[in-house]
Amino acid sequence: MRFRTVMLLAVLLLGHQIALAAPFAYITNPGSDNVSVIDTASDTVVATVPVGDGPLGVAVNPAGTRIYIANQNSNNVSVIDSATNTVTATVPVGTTPVGIAVNPAGTRVYVANFHSDTISIIDTATNTLAATVPAVADPYGIAVNPAGTRVYFANLNSSTISVIDTATNSVTATVPVGTTPVGVAVNAAGTRVYVTNIGSNSVSVIDTATNTVIATVPVTSLPFGVAVNPAGTRLYVTNTGSHSVSVIDTATNTVVATVPTGVNPYGIAVHPTGTRVYAANLGSNSVSVIDSATNSVVATVPVGVSPVAFGLFIGPAPTSLAQAGIPYLLPAVTFGFGVLILLGRQRRRQQ
């Protein structure tokens, strides 16, 4: 009886700690100058992190250990340690930073500075600027390809996308898209770039081999955020004007569903499993959680004031014991087996 009790306790402790290591969603709230941290296992806010003034863009590094926040009103980037949910560094960048992205190696962070027409490149080892790349006109959304060789950013007021070669930190191509491009996403294969055009209510599909637009997908009203699922089969677009998310089949480049959300959805990201999609609703101070199988909202999470969460705001799924929370598992394992050893010794003495 004692053995079963101890084993049950150990299992409960282990299960609890593993649950704590589920991917987290980091939601920037420019109205309250903080970041809400959502545990995607329970869809509840587990921490609130104060950052700079007017946080907008957000990017999680591939290891899930660092979160980078673009503070548009204080012209800097806050670096959050995911283990402690505290800001460990603040990096000055250009004027009005909005979009932000991390390369696959986690060594560089790219920041689109809207009012200084530049892209700041941060060295993550030192949290200092490594380079500055000129943009065309009011850069906004930004994304890095899976190989880490190209960076794509939207020039909002020139209706173009620029391409940076990361080896030379120079712009090598500029692609005309729709009117007033905002959000940018790259598929996992690195073959397609998707751009939301808020001024023409459409999504441009770019072939990365030729840097040309191969399709234009009409959506509803004022598309802003864009995200691709891990399989590359579905694209999700927030429509801020119609309070909905458009679901696009990437094989046919057609809208297959429209999901009602909260008021004015802006940022959007897909869970690493591809089973859920998270949309930040600026007008209702919440995040809508969409089931990708049914294309319906299954949860609504209250967050801070005017959430935007512009960028890849969900961390990776745990792929090892270290990522699954081994610092927390060890005390539980030690406790459980320690009690078992003591009980075994006591039993032998009684015999």
Q: Is 17 helix (H, G, I), strand (E, B) or coil?
A: helix
Using CA atoms, how far apart are residues 123 and 299, in angstroms rounded to an integer? 37
Asked if the model's pLDDT at residue 184 lies above 60, the reply is: yes
What pLDDT is stored for residue 74 in this prediction?
98
Query: pLDDT tens digits, residue range 266-295?
Result: 999 999 999 999 999 999 999 999 999 999
Q: C-alpha angle 219/222/225, rounded to 5°?
A: 85
What pLDDT is stored for residue 337 in this prediction?
41
How many alpha carbons lie under 13 Å from residue 50 in its C-beta half-sphere? Answer: 0
Asked if the model's pLDDT at residue 13 lies above 60, the reply is: no
Residues 6+ apart with CB under 8 A from 244: 220, 238, 258, 259, 260, 261, 265
Question: Higher model confidence: residue 328 or residue 272?
Answer: 272
> Under CATH, what is the fold of the domain 22-317?
Methylamine Dehydrogenase; Chain H (2.130.10)
What pLDDT is stored for residue 316 in this prediction?
85
- What pTM does this model have? 0.87
| Tokens read off for 61 | 């590094």
Which runs of consecutive H residues, i.e. helices, occur in 21-132?
Answer: none
